[in-house]
């Protein structure tokens, strides 16, 4: 892996839209949660009683909630473990686009590292579904992980090390172009790994963010959207700006 960042920065340019993707964030619903640098995590999260940390808002969020972050910088690893729904996703956004920075001191990696760096500012973990993260500045990236994705990763890695391509190609939709078969991926992985609760993280959207340090890494993360993000200044040993692997299917 290169020791410079310029190649990764150039590669990421291919994944971003020519014009920035900006969503309107000023109007809000009664159930929205607010986060501000002047807030307290013991507050209700209402506009007049904001929370202090994004994590506190994430912990309170239910399907359909929008978490609106007021201008400022916020430090800390945000861990998402619950789900929205297809009809009522949970959204994290800047109340004013471009005015919010989320940052976290991720573990450093050596330039010889050849695996994705999973320690990132925002983790959508355990197969959490239907979150949208938009219009933020994020230093050190986002990790989206299906439930027990490591079991699928280990199974796949063992086959790669054995140069066993035929077994890998038996995974539905992966031996030949057949998108309609991809719904069988998770049942197949449960069978071949013996892990009954493997599940994909579905329907997560990462839109219109500016990221530095680390980008977007997905493992067993499917049917999501990654659009209009600007990702740059990725050091060596981290992986590319966007790395969707371990049977992450149907993302756009």
Give the count of beta carbons closer than 10 Å to the beta carbon of residue 8. Answer: 21
25 in a structural domain: yes
250 in a structural domain: no
- What CA–CA distance (Å, rounded) separates 175 from 168? 8
Residues 172 and 238 in one domain: no
CA quadruple 176, 179, 183, 185: dihedral, nearest 10: 30
Q: Which of 176, 193, 210 is the C-terminal boundary of a domain? A: 193
Q: Which of 157, 175, 193 is the C-terminal boundary of a domain? A: 193
What's the pTM value of the predicted model, to 2 decimals? Answer: 0.86
Please report the beta strands in the chain, taking only residues with DSSP state E, as ranges in sequence order: 33-35, 66-69, 72-75, 78-80, 90-94, 100-103, 122-124, 131-134, 137-139, 142-145, 201-202, 205-207, 210-212, 216-219, 221-222, 225-227, 230-232, 242-245
Q: 174 and 192 in contact (C-beta within 8 Å)?
A: no
Residues 164 and 224 in one domain: no
Residues 96 and 50 in one domain: yes
Say if strands 131-134 and 90-94 run parallel, antiparallel, or are unpaired.
parallel
66 in a structural domain: yes
CATH of the domain at 214: 2.160.20.10
Residues 35 and 124 in one domain: yes
- Statement: residue 104 has pLDDT above 60: yes
251 in a structural domain: no
1 in a structural domain: no
Predicted confidence (pLDDT) per residue in 152-203, tens digit: 999 999 999 999 999 999 999 998 888 899 999 999 999 999 999 999 999 9
Instruction: Please tell me the total number of residues recorded for the chain in this structure.
Output: 252
- Statement: residue 20 has pLDDT above 50: no
What pLDDT is recorded for position 1?
A: 43
**Which residues constitute the domain of residue 153?**
149-193
Residues 165 and 240 in one domain: no
Residues 143 and 212 in one domain: yes
Residues 209 and 119 in one domain: yes
**3 state DSSP class of 192:** helix
If one counts the domains in the chain, the total is 2
What pLDDT is recorded for position 196?
A: 97
Residues 162 and 112 in one domain: no
């Amino acid at each position: 892996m290169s020791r410079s960042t310029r190649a990764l920065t150039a590669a990421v340019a291919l994944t971003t839209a020519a014009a920035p993707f900006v969503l309107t964030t000023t109007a809000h619903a009664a159930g929205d949660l607010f986060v501000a640098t002047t807030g307290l995590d013991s507050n209700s999260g209402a506009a007049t009683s904001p929370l202090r940390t994004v994590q506190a808002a994430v912990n309170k969020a239910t399907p359909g909630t929008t978490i609106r972050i007021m201008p400022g910088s916020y430090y800390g690893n945000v861990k998402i473990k619950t789900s929205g729904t297809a009809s009522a996703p949970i959204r994290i956004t800047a109340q004013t686009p471009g005015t919010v920075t989320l940052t976290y001191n991720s573990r450093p990696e050596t330039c010889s590292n050849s695996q994705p760096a999973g320690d990132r500012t925002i983790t959508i973990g355990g197969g959490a579904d239907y979150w949208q993260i938009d219009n933020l500045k994020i230093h050190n990236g986002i990790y989206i992980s299906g439930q027990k994705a490591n079991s699928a990763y280990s199974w796949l890695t063992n086959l790669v090390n054995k140069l066993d391509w035929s077994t890998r190609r038996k995974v539905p939709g992966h031996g030949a172009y057949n998108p309609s078969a991809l719904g069988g991926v998770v049942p197949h992985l449960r069978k071949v790994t013996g892990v009954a609760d493997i599940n994909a993280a579905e329907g997560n959207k990462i839109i219109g963010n500016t990221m530095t340090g680390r980008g977007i890494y997905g493992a067993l993360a499917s049917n999501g959207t990654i659009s209009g993000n600007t990702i740059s200044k990725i050091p060596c040993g981290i992986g590319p700006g966007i790395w969707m692997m371990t049977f992450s299917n149907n993302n756009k």
